[in-house]
């Protein structure tokens, strides 16, 4: 998996691509640390448009991001959700915990 961090419209953007699973833990954690360290952003967006697969460990990593965002009084939005990624997020009831756009 690849993870890149930028800013867009005053929000921190974490763009992920490839398989989002346990093997991607290090890349996600590095992206998470960069994202949380951004100054002057109103929230965080995770772009999942290029993610081909995610598993339960990926769900746990997204929950970790949500917890860190909550500590910083920020909201996390998941974007680009489609296909099997959307199905997994729906089964896990992530729409109750995240804004999904």
pLDDT per residue over 69-78, tens digit each? 999 899 999 9
Residue appearing with tokens 């998996």: 1
Are the C-beta atoms of 33 and 62 separated by less than 8 Å? Answer: no
Q: What's the CA gap between 20 and 9, in Å, rounded?
A: 25
Band (pLDDT 50/70/90 cuts) for residue 37 is confident
Q: What's the CA gap between 14 and 46, in Å, rounded?
A: 5
Count of domains for the chain: 1
Domain extent, residue 9, equals 2-100
Q: What angle do CA 72, 73, 77 make, to 5 degrees?
A: 100
pLDDT per residue over 41-60, tens digit each? 999 999 999 999 999 999 99
Are the C-beta atoms of 20 and 1 separated by less than 8 Å? Answer: yes
Are the C-beta atoms of 70 and 37 separated by less than 8 Å? Answer: no
In percent, the amount of the chain with pLDDT more than 90 equals: 88
CATH number reported for the structural domain that contains residue 75 in this entry: 3.30.750.24
């Amino acid at each position: 998996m690849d993870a890149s961090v930028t800013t867009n419209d005053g929000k921190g953007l974490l763009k992920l691509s490839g398989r989002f699973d346990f093997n991607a833990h290090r890349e996600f954690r590095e992206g998470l640390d960069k994202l949380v360290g951004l100054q002057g952003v109103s929230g965080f967006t995770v772009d999942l448009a290029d993610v081909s697969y995610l598993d339960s460990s990926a769900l746990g990593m997204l929950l970790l991001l949500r917890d860190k965002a909550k500590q910083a009084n920020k909201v996390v939005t998941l974007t680009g959700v489609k296909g099997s990624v959307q199905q997994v997020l729906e089964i896990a009831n992530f729409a109750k915990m995240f804004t999904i756009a």
